[in-house]
Amino acid sequence: MSNFLPKSIRVLIEELSRLPGIGPKSAQRLAIYLLHQPETGLKPLGEAILKLKKDVVFCSTCWNIAESDPCKICNSYERNKNIICVVEEILDVVALEKTGEYKGVYHVLHGVLSPIDGLGPEQLKLGALFERVKGGNFLEVIIATNPSLEGEATALYIQKHLREYGVKVTRIARGIPIGGDIEYADEVTLSKAMQGRSEF
């Protein structure tokens, strides 16, 4: 980074570049953009960042983020408490909720098994999931991890550990996306689409 920039700008660029998806160039653009904003425009941003840790908690039941513990989903009488959907990250809950299709509860793992990244079962909320299923009255556990190598390994790990509880374990469907062309799909996607076909 250029040493001719004031220290406060260099520190801000360094901090912004630590955010996922923000490289050094994007961090520089953001820092200069923020520099040109009036103080009245920056104050709400700073306060929102500071309030993030103060006003947001992790639900001790599902490990999703919330304003209170337990979260609104776990606390809702309208949700089906016999079905649990296991997801990798918080944003997966957001995506599934946007569909309006799923009416059960969730369990957020906060990652997937990835030995290369030092993520084993102990670093994820897998133990909490197994305890929850063991102590609950779940009829079905839906595994909604991504169809990546790590997501598949995590799904298999969960399936193996849940066998002893006698609960039905399902996996979300995978295949050709809406609007996608078969000719551009890879072999694994086509294979999964054929395996997951349903009656028309």
Torsion over CA of 71, 66, 141 and 175, rounded to 10 degrees?
A: 140
As a whole number of angstroms, the distance between CA 180 and CA 32 comes to: 39
For the stretch 89-92, contacts whose Cβ atoms lie closer than 8 Å and that sit 24 or more positions apart, written own/partner, are 90/64, 90/65, 92/144
Query: Is the distance from CB of 63 to CB of 125 less than 8 angstroms?
Result: yes
Tell me which of 129 and 147 has the higher pLDDT. Answer: 129
pTM to 2 decimals?
0.82
Using a pLDDT cut of 90, give the percent of the chain over it. 60
Q: 199: pLDDT confidence band, cut at 50, 70 and 90? A: low
Q: What pLDDT, on the 0 to 100 scale, is given for residue 1?
A: 55
Neighbours of 152 (CB within 10 A): 17
Third-level CATH fold of 65-195 = Dna Topoisomerase Vi A Subunit; Chain: A, domain 2 (3.40.1360)
Average confidence (pLDDT) over 134-160: 92
Q: Tell me: the pLDDT tens digits for 76-87?
A: 999 999 999 999
**d(C-alpha 180, C-alpha 190), whole Å:** 11
More confident call, 115 vs 26: 26
| pLDDT of res. 52 | 87
**Helix spans in 38-186 (H):** 39-55, 72-75, 90-99, 126-135, 149-162
Q: Please give the pLDDT value at position 2.
A: 62
Partner residues linked to 114 by β-bridges: 119
Strands 65-66 and 57-58: antiparallel
- Give the pLDDT score at 159: 95
Residues 6+ apart with CB under 8 A from 63: 107, 108, 109, 110, 125, 128
Domain boundaries, the chain: 7-55, 65-195
- Please give the structure tokens belonging to residue 193: 């689409």
In this predicted model, which residue has the larger pLDDT, 180 or 110?
110
Rounded to the nearest integer, the mean pLDDT of the chain is: 90
If one counts every other C-beta atom within 10 angstroms of the C-beta of residue 63, the result is: 22
Q: What is the pLDDT at residue 21?
A: 92
80: which residues sit within 8 A by CB, 6+ positions away? 103, 104, 105
pLDDT tens-digit profile of 106-144?
Answer: 999 999 999 888 899 999 999 999 999 998 899 999 999
Does domain 7-55 match CATH 1.10.8.420? Answer: yes
